[in-house]
Structure 1
Amino acid sequence: MDWDSYRFDPTNLGYLGFLAALGWFVDSLRPLAIFGFFFLFWFWPLGSTVRSIASPAEDPTDWIQLGDRRYYGTYFLTMLPTMVNPYVVLASLGQIGGQLVILARYSLRLPGPEDRTQTVDYRLPFDGTWTVINGSVRREHSHSWSMYTQRYAYDFLITDEQGRTHLGDGRENEDYYCFDEPIRAPAGGVVVDVADGHRDGPRPGGSLDVFQRDIRGNYVTIDHGDVYSVLAHLTPGSFAVDEGQRVERGELIGRCGNSGNSTEPHLHFHVQDHPNFYLGMGLPIEFERVRIERPTEGTTTTAERAYVEAGQRVSHGREGPRTDRETRTATPER
């Protein structure tokens, strides 16, 4: 049995804080209000951040200029009110319940890359060269190892050669290289869920949208047969597909945005084994004909099928001519 597959993460204790809500609103359950202290466990990752600053270790994403003190300060200031947003609370409760269902479905033996044969041929869900900011099949660089649905998820964005994700000061969504870029179907299938109408976060650069109504923002779910892909944080009004529509591999789905639980424009992408976002176990994804640049190593390879990892710049191995916008976004700021 692979105990590392579900090794306990203290951050999960933060979800017990929601029991305090019963104490806040039901007089007979007032003693439960003490569970509010469990919310402090959500700051557990901050300890890892402090330790990494004090004793820096080599990380494949070190070359990416994601944020400064203002960025992370803004993030933590907006995280607190976001945690009590009713929509986020409900999503968190859904994730807690989903975790238990997934564990029961797999009898505590969660699947990994060695446990399944991929039956769907996935392409990268975009054109041009993007950077993997989060995601790996390995625990240390996983998007969310302890969140089973998103264990093998990826966050993609576009960087320039200096590792910057935006032009200027990054105060507007339009400053970001990936904003409004086309997002494409990773494989053929049927659209089973589309959610639109969620605004893009109005203050990118570390700030969460405290008024978000869905952590996914605008998203689409595609049924590829026995597995489902989720593409999230798209910009409102950009969808080119409807629920029930058949889509082909590479077909335009929508455009990259900053909606939902997001600090700056990016694409969230993962594959799961159930159409319900909360009940599906995340599955590892190998992409076809992918060109992989490793800036920290100075190497570039092209593979017929490969997993991608945080810190890599990835594109299709047989990439066509760049558009004007793609050329502009790849040019370093002067």
Structure 2
Amino acid sequence: MQLSTIPKDSIINMAEENGGQVVSNFLLHGLKIKNDTGENIILKDISFELYSAGVAVKQVTYQGKYLDNAVENFAENNGWLCKDIGAKLFLGEEDFWNAECFAKSVVMNENQETGIFNEYFITVHESAIDELRIKVAYDKFGEKHVQELSVPLVQYENKNQYIFPLKGSISTCGHYKSLLDHRQHYSMEFAIDMAQYNVEQKLSYKENMSKEDYVVYGKDVLAIADGEVVDCYHSFEITTSWNWSERKPFIDQYGFMPAQCGNHIVLKHDNEEYSFYGHLATDSLTVKKGDKVKQGQVIAKVGHTGMSGCPHLHFQLMDGPDFLADRGLPCSFSNIRNVDGDRISLIEEENIIVHAE
């Protein structure tokens, strides 16, 4: 039995202390279970065991009718995760799963496979969860076998010091505690959308607002640290639809990135961390590929291009320059405060306002 995961090497745990306990919060994007035993087998259960410093803390198990349903639903609903944009956006790669080999029941023929997509874990313990043990039990010729895989959990520390990409009081949303927003995508797991309210604390405040009516539209976008422009696009003028059939013609004509993210910039920083800025205003970029930038330098203006619900900045940090292949990373900032005026570094709550100096 072959077990494979995404991420492959380790999972980032967004652990935080709360009331003397630690809340662990992490996501397994994908688990592949492939029958490579050379014989037909019967899948009996899939268990996820959570450990902290070698101590078992919690177990989540699919078995019985729940396992039956999980295997059937996976085969019926997840073929789109095997190829093309869907696979890249959600898993960072194609061909992790092979839809032609999906098992439709717990009776798995040779070389058939099944899996788990986007399994979320949130648990409270006296210390952070630092290991996920996956155990898959199956019967072969009436004998029980168990295949195990251990995946370490890490609490990621940024390798560079970053400033917030906008100045002033900024509303933030779509971050990692919004489980079905950015987080379910591989590179966007820790992405943040940034907008701005007017003096009445409203984002939308009148009928038929134009993009210029939004407070954040045209606001300066800043480089979060010294770096080099490794990718950018500046001339896309369109706000595309959430509807795939309506967006597809723009993808065919302009490419996926402009149609999805509009005008955008990718900066390479020291220690293999990369920042991404999306939905930028058309022809507002002040940099081009190959340019060196300094921390705080204006690199563009906030826009409303690509798949954008309203004018805002889409921001994320990655471990490489490729929006469709590289892994999302948490990003801490050195110059933000919360609404109480307390200095914070990591945005740990959904829909909060921060002030960037």
User: Number of residues paired by the alignment?
Assistant: 231
Which residue is 1:297 aligned to? none
Listed as ranges, the gaps of 5+ residues in structure 2 are 1-9, 14-24, 31-73, 98-148, 252-256
Q: Structure 1 length normalisation: TM-score? A: 0.59
The equivalent of 1:62 in structure 2 is none
Q: What SS is found at the alignment partner of 1:271?
A: strand
Instruction: Please give the residue correspondences for 1:213-252 in structure 2 after superposition, counting only pairs within 5 Å.
Output: 213=251, 214=257, 215-225=260-270, 226-252=272-298
Contact 2:90 2:186 survives alignment (8 Å): no
User: In the aligned structure 1, how far is the partner of 2:329 from the partner of 2:28?
Assistant: 18
Q: What is the one-letter code of the residue matched to 1:229?
A: S
Q: Which of 117, 121, 136 lines up with 2:157 in the alignment?
A: 117
Alignment of 1:1-334 (within 5 A): 5-7=26-28, 38=77, 91-95=85-89, 98-99=92-93, 109=151, 114=155, 116-136=156-176, 138=177, 140=178, 143-201=181-239, 210=247, 212-213=250-251, 214=257, 215-225=260-270, 226-293=272-339, 300-303=340-343, 305-316=345-356, 319=357
Q: Distance in 1 between matches of 2:153 and 2:324?
A: 17
Q: Output the CA distance in 1 between the equivalents of 2:221 and 2:287.
A: 11
Query: Which of the two has higher C-alpha Rg?
Result: 2
Higher strand share: 2
The answer to whether the 8 Å contact 1:200/1:257 transfers is no
Alpha-carbon shift at residue 177 of structure 1 (Å): 1.3
Bigger RCO (CA 8 Å, 6+ sep): 1
**Percent of paired sites with the same residue:** 21
Question: In the alignment, residue 95 of structure 1 is paired with which amino acid?
Answer: L
Determine helix, strand or coil for the equivalent of 1:174. Answer: helix
Q: For residues 176-218 of structure 1, what are the alpha-carbon distances to aligned partners after superposition, in whole Å with 9 as ceiling and x for unaligned?
A: 1111111110111011001122114289xx9997354331111
Question: How far apart, in 2, do the equivalents of 1:174 and 1:40 lie?
Answer: 41
| Conservation of the 8 A alpha-carbon contact between 2:29 and 2:91 | no
Report the Cα distance in structure 1 between the residues aligned to 2:341 and 2:96, rounded to whole angstroms.
36
Distance 1:162 1:207, change over 3 A: farther
Structure 1, unpaired ranges of 5+: 10-34, 43-88, 294-299, 320-334
RMSD, aligned α-carbons = 3.7
Whether the 8 Å CA contact 1:102–1:279 is kept in 2: the answer is no
Which protein is richer in helix relative to its size? 1
* Inter-partner Cα distance in structure 2 for 1:200 and 1:40: 30
